[in-house]
Amino acid sequence: MTVGRVTWLGHASVVIDVMGVRLLTDPLLREHAGLLRRRGAAPDPALWRDPDAVLLSHLHYDHAEIGSLELLGRVPVVAAPANARWLRRHGIPGGVALPEGTWWTVPATRRSGAVQVRAVPAVHGDRPMPQRPNAACGFVVRAGELRIWFAGDTGPHPAMAAVPDILGGRVDLALVPVGGWGPRLSGGHLDPVQAARACALVGARVAVPVHWGTLHAPASRRLPPGWMDRAGPAFLHAARHEAPGCTVLLLAPGGSGEVSSGT
């Protein structure tokens, strides 16, 4: 059995500690992402410092926040090839181009085991950026017997069904987006019910809902009260009906939990 720890920093930023390796997804480590503002303080650096690799799903400002990436130094930043090239051209030296279908091994240290990462499809093209590449992907991770799926930002798509085959078994931990930075989602996202169905499709044993309850636009005072707190509990409710074999780990920003491989 392989045991890991998952820590949600807010939005799509998750720390995965397993086999002596630390992975960090879509790091948003400051109090803003462009015009968007974080509710509450920036994550405690003790929770995210010294990652061995960053998994970057796409280049929207709330996922590829340059100031946050600069805080990490020369850590490898694994991304779709077009995105990795853009990062290197814009002063992020660790961009690692990972085409879909290719496994990449996290550089080993004396304290680490073999942890492998592979990009998988995501559908997220509804808000194209004129000044950045618009490639998007998710990632799967194999760490010993532990199998992890980070969906990235995506709408529902048939290729999700292939995730267990790519990993060689049922998903132990799914990191799935369930909301956004406003009360209404644009295309290329999962709502709580769609996210629950995605977890059922990949056979997730444990799921952590992300991409909710963290960011808001400056005009959010004019939006319906309480909207930021709804998506996570709604996903928990939906999973009971749509994915009854999946345990939902509903975390607050900075919260963590233990996950283990299936038997």
φ, ψ of residue 198 in degrees (nearest 5): -65, -40
Residue 247 vs residue 33, higher pLDDT: 247
C-alpha span between 72 and 67 (Å, rounded): 9
3-state secondary structure of 222: helix
Strand partners, 11: none
3-state secondary structure of 185: coil
Average pLDDT over residues 100-108: 91
Average pLDDT of the chain is 92
- State the pLDDT at residue 111: 67
Residue 126 vs residue 141, higher pLDDT: 141
CATH T-level topology, domain 3-258: Metallo-beta-lactamase; Chain A (3.60.15)
Place of tokens 């073999």: 114
Taking the domains of the chain in order of start, what are their residue ranges? 3-258
**Where does the pLDDT of residue 257 fall: very low under 50, low under 70, confident under 90, or very high at 90 and above?**
very high
CB of 136 closer than 8 Å to CB of 47: no
Q: Among 46-55, 116-125, 198-207, which is the least confidently predicted range?
A: 116-125
**Where does the pLDDT of residue 231 fall: very low under 50, low under 70, confident under 90, or very high at 90 and above?**
very high
Residue 20 reports pLDDT greater than 60: yes
- State the pLDDT at residue 114: 87
C-alpha span between 123 and 235 (Å, rounded): 20
pTM: 0.95
